[in-house]
Amino acid sequence: MRYGVFLPVAVLGVMLGNAALAAVEITSEAVTPDGKTSQHTVFLTPDRMKFDLERVAIIVRIDTGKMVSLIKDRHEYMEIDPKQVSSRIADAQALLQQKLQALPEAQRKQMEAVFAQHGVPGAPAQQPAVTSSYEKTGQTKTVGSWSCQVFHQKKNGALSADLCIAPAAALGLTPDDLAAFRAAAESMSKMLPAGARRDDPMMEFDAMSQQIGFAGLPVETVNYVSGKVLTTRTVKSIDHAPLRPDVFEVPAGYTKREMPGIASPGAAPPAQ
């Protein structure tokens, strides 16, 4: 995976100290069909959030509109200007279109259909906006200590995920927590470029709540690609605890790296 313009689409069913910052800390575990596991932690306060994955972390300042990507294995960080992301996504769309046009027609149409189903911008060129729907299945489950209802999440009519959603109150989430979730969703929606994939329910928190009939969060998410399970993510804990202020800072010893651009077709790869 390249770490250039990395915006976590893996936010999923998750969310957000000595000078204490009031926050929600949610940890989850993702499992692939071949048994590989990864741990995810997300921190959320009223004015900032952090998505902490195994190899990367993203710090988002809701109050300033700035983002920082931490590349853990390289001890590097990049400051991400959301305004520049849109132009780079446009470059990537143009490059993707050129590569698709070079494929045999049958293969090109197959790839375009997959991209369109999952909201990948730029394929096809006139791709419709991705719309989400949440369909109640009538199934209930117990995940950890939480009872939850299963909903099919669909993107443009195609199954994207099965979400087992528990009411916010049952998860110990307060009205202030929900207000922070809404602020985070609004902030991320503004930061993400138009057409970028938004497959995490938190990017459309209010819309999801309206469709399912209550405010809640997924405690189990089964993601699909082309009808096959991609990952199963399970929330392990939801805690309210003071956080160290440095949770949202670049760690000591990290070196700044400039955000790379999108290479043009035929251009030589950048030196490593």
pLDDT digits (tens, 9 = 90+) for 123-154: 554 455 567 899 999 999 999 999 999 999 99
DSSP the chain: ---SS---S--TT-------B--EEEEEEEE-TTS-EEEEEEEEETTEEEEE-SSEEEEEETTTTEEEEEEGGGTEEEEE-HHHHHHHHHHHHHHHHHHHHTS-HHHHHHHHHHHHHTT-TTSSTTPPPP-EEEEEEEEEEEETTEEEEEEEEEETTEEEEEEEEEETGGGT--HHHHHHHHHHHHHHHHHSPTT----SGGGGHHHHHHHHTS-EEEEEEEEEETTEEEEEEEEEEEEE--B-GGGGSPPTTPEE-PPP-PPPTTPPPPP-
Stated pTM of the model: 0.71
Instruction: Write down the pLDDT at residue 112.
Output: 67
Name the pLDDT band for 166 (thresholds 50, 70, 90). Answer: very high
pLDDT level of residue 192 (50, 70, 90 thresholds):
low
CATH number of 24-256: 2.50.20.10
> How confident is residue 231, by pLDDT bands cut at 50, 70 and 90?
very high
What is the arithmetic mean of pLDDT over 46-57? 89
Predicted pLDDT of residue 31: 95
